[in-house]
Amino acid sequence: MRNDDLLTRNNENYNHNVGQASRLSEDFYRRHLPHFQLTSGYYYFITFTTYNRKTLQPFEKDCIFDAINYMDTKEYELHASVILNDHIHIIMNPIDKLSRIMHSIKSYTNHEINKKTNRKGKFWQDENYDKIIRNEKEFIEKIKYIVNNPIKANLSKSYTDYKWLYVKGWIDNS
């Protein structure tokens, strides 16, 4: 099956299966994946990756970590974040629209990192994965996932030693 056929088929299925979720959403945007944002008060687990899975250098991780922490309380309430070698995980409660928040993070860090490395062009994949955290159990699972990710990826022996990890009220490496 060609990609065009798959895209058309997915769009047809998508249009028929939206149903009740679209009535609950405050904001909707679509790139390759559909993105819904419910009214305020919901927590989101967000993952985004570097373009072509480029490995991040320490100064690039610093830039991204600082940008994410800087926007806490301005565009979202940040609960956890981790910067790994080629992707980032965040748990947040958005104040602004998710599409604007992600554009802000990606645009700023893309510009700053390209400026420091004398490069031009894409730094991030266009898409990000966002998932609504539905309950306390899932929230705790996602926090544990973020905390254990550097250890699982062999980037650190302990979560306390990993420089690019933040959990509100628990781990603050900023």
**Domain 40-172: what homologous superfamily?**
Transposase IS200-like (3.30.70.1290)
Q: What is the pLDDT of residue 171?
A: 73
Q: What is the pLDDT of residue 41?
A: 75
Q: Name the one residue in this structure whose structure tokens are 């065009």.
A: 4
- Domain map (residue ranges) of the chain: 40-172
Cα–Cα distance for residue pair 49/78, rounded to 1 Å: 19
Helix, strand, or coil (residue 133): strand
Q: Name the one residue in this structure whose structure tokens are 């550097």.
A: 150
Tens digit of pLDDT at every position of the chain (174 positions): 333 333 333 333 333 333 333 333 344 444 444 445 555 678 999 999 999 999 999 999 999 999 999 999 999 999 999 999 999 999 999 998 888 999 999 999 999 999 999 999 999 998 899 999 999 999 999 999 999 999 999 999 999 999 999 999 887 765
